[in-house]
Structure 1
Amino acid sequence: MARNTQGLTERYPAQLIVPIIDLVAVVLGGILAYGWRFETLYLHERYVLAITVISLFALLLNSLLGAYSRWRATRISTLLARLMLVWCVVGLLATSIIYFAHAAERYSRLWVGVSLLLSFIMAGGARVLLQLVLRQARLRGKARRSIFLVGPSHHLINVARGMRASPGEGYSIAGVERLSHTPDDACLERLSRRVAVSEAREVWICVPLEMGSTVRSIFFTLRNQTAEVRFIPEFRDMHLLNHRMSEVAGHYAIDLSVTPMNGMAQVIKRLEDIFVGGLISLLILPVCIGISIAIKITSPGPVLFKQYRTGANGRQFKVYKFRSMEVHEEDSGTVTQARQGDPRVTKLGAFLRRTSLDELPQFYNVLQGRMSIVGPRPHALAHNEYYKDLVESYMWRHKVKPGITGWAQVNGLRGETDTLQKMERRVEHDLWYIDNWSLWLDLRIIFLTIFKGFTNENAY
């Protein structure tokens, strides 16, 4: 039974089934929206043309974004986020064509919106259903993909644990070849026979980087096998960040530490900052004016506090805050963190810091493009110099723009970092955010900030 189910999923993969689902969703959504809007299911020819164009856009964009690639290890949230992005772009393209073709009076904008909404619900629902059905089938031992593992024992154990921790991905071990040293000809010949007998669909070569020459020998040995071959290197004691495979200068590269803000991700992040940041800036303008007047009345000195911080890729920029302390001078190169009961903090400043209202001017930094709404909080330059040699991978926080709020802040890691352990935990959360960035994660952090990120007992 397992073999038959596996054959079914191999003969009808996502690359074939899902485009058909999307096509049906767009057509059916357009027809239903037309019937709801015009009370008839007999489509005018111009709406047939519109549905055809929308379908082509949806299929093309999904293909370009890799939405039809194998789903075995893709989370449902990722699939839906990718689909929503495609549908938003499709809607923008469709409305732009209608506008520039001067055909706005011949098409119902309500029909465009409702048809896109219905088709998204159907396409997204089908994705969720397919993933759940496949996951349940794999958990019951069906639709599984057999794997033959090759490598040192300790590495194979780690890989096997990962497979057991992700049963929904549907991998099963068909055989194991343990290597205690560089394999000789006899070992390689035995490996080839065992892989053939096991009928494994894939061979995973699991060796540390120092055994790189072994990969070539094994790969050459398996040249007559039909099984797919994967190289799973071991990176012990290495903190990886947004690691992936890429192609540079005509060569394949394993990216160990790279920024996620490249290509479309960079565009999405900037659009998020412009739209959300612009809206928030308009809403908080009366509050900012009131705070500015209150600061001027209650203490002498400027309204804004300006200080250089480190931004994306190590570039320095000037960050803005409402002044919350009495005007004072510090020794060159030193920055003293505010502590509980700090006499430098004004009464109004204590309230501003406790409620994070002192951070509001940083939305101007966001509109400038020097900060993001969500990202690692920028630290003082002196703190960066101090902690970069004490906390592993500390400077990797600067691979993305700093943010007004972040994953560390909504998890309670705000305020004074008076111990090394506190800074380590903050950096750990910052790096997790960078390694797992998505638009949905940003929206989740913004949502959490509204309810629990503004006030904190550690902010003083």
Structure 2
Amino acid sequence: MVALVSLLSARPQWLGEPVLGGLLRVGDGGLLAAAAVLAHPSLYDRAEVSFWTEFYWPELFLVLLGQLLLMLLFTAAELYAPARVQHRPRRRFLVAYGLTAAGVVGLALLVSLEYPVSRLWLGLWLLLGAGFVFAGRASMAAALRWWSRSGRMVRNTVIVGDYGVARGLAEKMVAAGDPTVRLLGVFHDGRPDHEPADGGTSPFPTGGTREDFLAFVRSAAVDEVVVALPWHADERLSDWLGVLRNVPAEVLVCPPVGAIRAPDPAAGVAVLAGRPLLRIAARPLDGWSYVIKLAEDRLLAAVLVTALAPLMLLIAVAVRLDSPGPVLFRQKRNGFNNKVIEVLKFRTMAAATCQAGDGAFDQARRDDPRITRVGRFLRRTSLDELPQLFNVLGGSMSLIGPRPHAVAHNAQFERVINAYLGRHRVKPGITGWAQVNGHRGETDTREKMELRVQHDLYYIENWSLALDLEILVRTFGVLVSCRNAY
């Protein structure tokens, strides 16, 4: 039930303070510019005015400097923090905007020494700008309050570790009553200093042991995991961090000292119920990274689907004529957070030998008799993967990321490679860092899969837009060489 609640009221991965602050800055700047444009006709006698031909550079200069000054002063007044926006601090707004207007007027006086600046336009612009920016922020405040009530601004939190220490932290969380934190459960490592109390009498959800946590985190939307252990529990901390490296959530460690408080969190430090927490691992692709990755996937996938539609139609006809059976092959594979997704491919094997991937699974081998004539060409050139562009558009896959494996294949390597599940902290991709470094095709040994996992984890920990573009460029070279593909 807790997992269901967390999924229905999960915080979107993009919805964080950096993105909200950026959107507010863009909104403030845009509204100030809109006010300048609407105030512009006051300069002229006729009703219809061409903005682009009669709005000359001194006014543009003042508008640009006004936007910059507004953002700087609003940042200094902490008016881009979501908590401030929700409470609509009118005094801070009036002071910051008043200083902005004074600064713009002072600049206008300097500019007017060389170029005439209309006082009517300037006054009307600053007056309209105040109304526009205030109205925009009031709208954002209403949206943030609605998101808070619906749980969209809440951090879903799980506490793990020693039951006694974790319980103490959970009790402080409940007593603090922080509306931005939702405690989903407390899980222990089987060696609690105190026996867990009856879950029905606890003021917080009691989840169970480490094994219960692993099952829970695959079905729940968890934003952060707090590790709470006593001093000198180095081995237990190492064990938990080994488990949490496979979880797509921020990982924090709580020191077991109740008197320590952190009123002003520094870099790498978070605060929960007045306690300082050391940030060990960030959530992959959070905030702006998530927005950039999402835009990259959707835009490029849409362009590729449009450009490659004739080729995909020809391939579909060739597959259908070459052997009886469906054109597309649907296989169950593990995606983000190890959830099962359905991946699309052009069928490359005889229909009777295709495997869904949820049971015993035989990988394709060199000279595999199950592969059709057209299928052999499609596999060598990786053209059989093109339908996965629709998986990208649907949101279950990314253009670039760790390659997804069949469910049975996934379960096999999960048992023998400790870091294997860490690949699922991001969406799987059509191509990836491992593939462009020669680790594509059959993974018939543990060593081959370990090399693939190492490259996948490197990609997750070092993601950037530049790295994605490099992988895209190198993918074309890999496709031309056709190595390790059959």
Scaled by the length of structure 2, the TM-score of the pair is 0.48
Q: Residue 337 of structure 2 is aligned with which of 313, 338, 359?
A: 313
Q: Does 1:270 align with 2:284?
A: no
For residue 317 of structure 1, report the CA deviation from its aligned partner.
1.2
Q: Which runs of 5+ in 1 are unaligned?
A: 1-37, 66-208, 215-233
Q: Classify 1:378/1:257 alpha carbon distance in 2 versus 1 (closer, same or farther; 3 Å).
A: farther
For residue 50 of structure 1, report the CA deviation from its aligned partner.
2.8
For residue 245 of structure 1, report the CA deviation from its aligned partner.
4.8
Partner in structure 1 of residue 442 of structure 2: 416
Q: Does 1:52 align with 2:66?
A: yes
Aligned residue type for 2:331: Q
Partner in structure 2 of residue 366 of structure 1: 392
Q: Distance in 2 between matches of 1:47 and 1:276?
A: 36
Q: Classify 1:247/1:296 alpha carbon distance in 2 versus 1 (closer, same or farther; 3 Å).
A: farther
Partner in structure 2 of residue 354 of structure 1: 380
Query: Once the two structures are superposed, what CA deviation does each residue of 1:404-429 show, in whole Å capped at 9, x if it has no partner?
Result: 11110110100000110000000111
The answer to whether the 8 Å contact 1:354/1:455 transfers is no
Q: Classify 1:290/1:386 alpha carbon distance in 2 versus 1 (closer, same or farther; 3 Å).
A: same
What percent identity do the matched residue pairs reach?
44
Partner in structure 2 of residue 289 of structure 1: 313
Query: Once the two structures are superposed, what CA deviation does each residue of 1:253-297 show, in whole Å capped at 9, x if it has no partner?
Result: 345555312222222211111111111111111111110011111
1:219-368 superposed matches below 5 A = 245-248=269-272, 250-256=274-280, 259-329=283-353, 333-368=359-394
Q: Distance in 1 between matches of 2:271 and 2:410?
A: 33
Q: Classify 1:328/1:454 alpha carbon distance in 2 versus 1 (closer, same or farther; 3 Å).
A: farther
1:161-200 superposed matches below 5 A = none
1:397-408 superposed matches below 5 A = 397-408=423-434
Partner in structure 1 of residue 131 of structure 2: none
Q: Distance in 1 between matches of 2:63 and 2:299?
A: 32
Q: Classify 1:367/1:248 alpha carbon distance in 2 versus 1 (closer, same or farther; 3 Å).
A: farther
Q: Distance in 2 between matches of 1:59 and 1:443?
A: 36
Aligned residue type for 1:451: G
Q: Classify 1:267/1:459 alpha carbon distance in 2 versus 1 (closer, same or farther; 3 Å).
A: same
Aligned length: 265
Q: Classify 1:58/1:282 alpha carbon distance in 2 versus 1 (closer, same or farther; 3 Å).
A: farther
Query: Once the two structures are superposed, what CA deviation does each residue of 1:214-247 show, in whole Å capped at 9, x if it has no partner?
Result: 9xxxxxxxxxxxxxxxxxxx96996657876544
Q: Classify 1:245/1:307 alpha carbon distance in 2 versus 1 (closer, same or farther; 3 Å).
A: farther
Q: Distance in 1 between matches of 2:365 and 2:73?
A: 56
- 3-state secondary structure, aligned to 2:477: helix
Q: RMSD value over aligned CA atoms?
A: 3.9
For residue 51 of structure 1, report the CA deviation from its aligned partner.
4.0
- 3-state secondary structure, aligned to 1:379: coil
For residue 456 of structure 1, report the CA deviation from its aligned partner.
3.2
Q: Distance in 1 between matches of 2:72 and 2:229?
A: 45
Aligned residue type for 2:367: G
Q: Distance in 2 between matches of 1:403 and 1:64?
A: 38
- 3-state secondary structure, aligned to 1:44: helix
Q: Which runs of 5+ in 2 are unaligned?
A: 1-51, 81-227, 252-267
Q: Classify 1:237/1:50 alpha carbon distance in 2 versus 1 (closer, same or farther; 3 Å).
A: closer
Partner in structure 1 of residue 470 of structure 2: 444
Query: Once the two structures are superposed, what CA deviation does each residue of 1:327-380 show, in whole Å capped at 9, x if it has no partner?
Result: 124597111000000000111111111111000000100000110111100000
Scaled by the length of structure 1, the TM-score of the pair is 0.51
Q: Distance in 2 between matches of 1:453 and 1:254?
A: 44
Aligned residue type for 1:391: I
Aligned residue type for 1:379: H
